Chains A and B, each alone.
Chain A
Amino acid sequence: MSSTTLDRPAKTAPNAFTQAELGWNAWLDPVPEEALTERQKEGLVDIARAKSPYFRLLAHDPDILRARTLADKDIFYNTRSGLGRAERELAAAAASRSNGCIYCASVHARFASTFSKRREDVQRLLDEGTGVDIDPLWNAVIEASVALTATPIAFGPEHVRKLRDLGLDDLAISDVIHAAAFFNWANRLMLSLGEPEIG
């Protein structure tokens, strides 16, 4: 842990939205990896998540973590019809951009880039904000996600109509709703239980 730059911490919190990989530090003590009970491991669903301080912190209440994780995986990874992977990640990134979750936005902007192969368009959402003008479908997904993220909620029939006019069926529109709503769950945990760090 020796360092020659004593005048600043080795790692710093990001102050801009980015698609780079960030770390995350918990503000409360996660369950130590070696102390995880069987039930807490079941809560993690994927044992690889035992490496993550975020999931080990949530493992303090394992049953809600398990149900949350299984819902999360289905909302984003179940591509039996409905909305494409890229647009689900776009909805997650847009909700995170609106709430101000730099960590969540980094992960899901990166996924949106991976699935859409449109890294520069995704970066414009991060740089310019949720008012960005990309293309009709992406604009509509972003607008719907931001309207659903507002409190009180501003999502209305006009958002459904616009998505439908752009060719989304009811299941795909429901997928937009679930992806954006889910990040109002995730953002609140990620932003309040710890903070991101660069490097």
Chain B
Amino acid sequence: MTQTTDVLDGLAGVAPGSALDTLRRERPQTRDNVQASYAALFEAPDETGIAQSDRLAVASFVALLHGGPAAEYYLGLLEAEPEGGKLAGLIRRQAERGATKGPYGAYPPGPLSREDVAGPIFKVEAADRAALGERLTTALEHTHQLVFHLRDAKESDFAPLKAAGWSTSAIVTLSQIVAYLSFQIRAAHGLQVLGLHALGV
């Protein structure tokens, strides 16, 4: 039935016919729709105004910030795009500069303020800003917050994105890319650990 390669299987190291493969196929609606989500974000024709290379640049950045096999996967796709090699180099550089530990951030002032955790706010350096362009620069800065300090999100965060030309529907897609990757990377990591350490016991 499934003709295309399942991306999560690839990232989690799920071999056809393995115990982990059997396990994933016990939840076919999950398996199919995790793959359909990937297809909607990275394989379908663009309808919200985000170039494929920008989608892959954001995905590569998210994956590099997490570490693990997803980074090489998305960078590989990015490098295959026109001018992708140069862009991949820029993204690697941003990820090196943006590496930190999350989740951190501040709560609305009140009883939770004692749980506030300080952390860096990522800004692309001027030279790279010019090379990446305002559109991708603002997307990467927003992405870094969504990955590491999502509870700092506020309404005014959209101002720089809008000023750089991001429409509402494009911001929705951008948010879905970052959020989906945050799921996919964790599901892949968890399944890989499960496959290596629990099955067959």
Contact = CB atoms under 8 A, between A and B. Distances in A.
B174 to A, nearest CB: 10
Given A151-B102, A153-B189, A192-B153, A63 B107 contact: no
A174 interface: yes
Given A153-B66, A193-B175, A74 B103 contact: no
A117 interface: no
Contacts of A188: 146, 150, 175, 178-179, 182
Interface residues of A, dominant DSSP: helix
Interface string B166-181: 0011011101101110
B112 A16 contact: yes
Given A64-B176, A177-B186, A191-B150, A74 B197 contact: no
B18 to A, nearest CB: 12
B33 A181 contact: no
Contact of B110 (A16, A70, A74): A16
A185 B172 contact: no
B26 A68 contact: no
A178 B33 contact: no
Contacts of B29: 70-71, 73-74, 78
A181 B103 contact: no
Interface stretch (B36-44, B76-84, B85-93, B122-130): B36-44
A61 B176 contact: yes
B186 A180 contact: yes
Nearest to A196: B108
A66 B36 CA distance: 9
Interface string B24-60: 1011011011101101110010011000000000000
B133 interface: no
A100 B186 contact: no
Contacts of A153: 66-68, 185-186, 189
How many B residues are at the interface, by size bracket? Answer: 35 or more
A181 B183 contact: yes
Contact of B189 (A80, A129, A155): A155
Interface stretch (A3-11, A107-115, A133-141, A156-164): A156-164
Interface in A152-186: 152-153, 155-157, 159-161, 164, 170-171, 173-174, 177-178, 180-182, 184-186
Given A74-B30, A192-B175, A177 B151 contact: no
A9 to B, nearest CB: 14
Interface string A11-24: 00111110000000
Given A15-B108, A57-B172, A188-B182, A63 B30 contact: no
A48 interface: no
A101 interface: yes
A170 B194 contact: yes
Interface of B: 19, 23-24, 26-27, 29-30, 32-34, 36-37, 39-41, 44, 47-48, 65-68, 101-103, 105, 107-112, 115, 145-148, 150-151, 153, 155, 157-158, 168-169, 171-173, 175-176, 178-180, 182-187, 189-191, 193-194, 196-199, 201
19 contacts: A14-B108, A17-B112, A58-B176, A60-B172, A66-B36, A66-B40, A67-B37, A68-B180, A71-B33, A73-B29, A82-B27, A101-B151, A148-B190, A151-B101, A160-B197, A177-B190, A184-B179, A185-B179, A191-B150
Given A61-B169, A67-B34, 8 more contacts: A64-B173, A99-B151, A149-B103, A161-B198, A184-B182, A188-B182, A189-B179, A193-B175
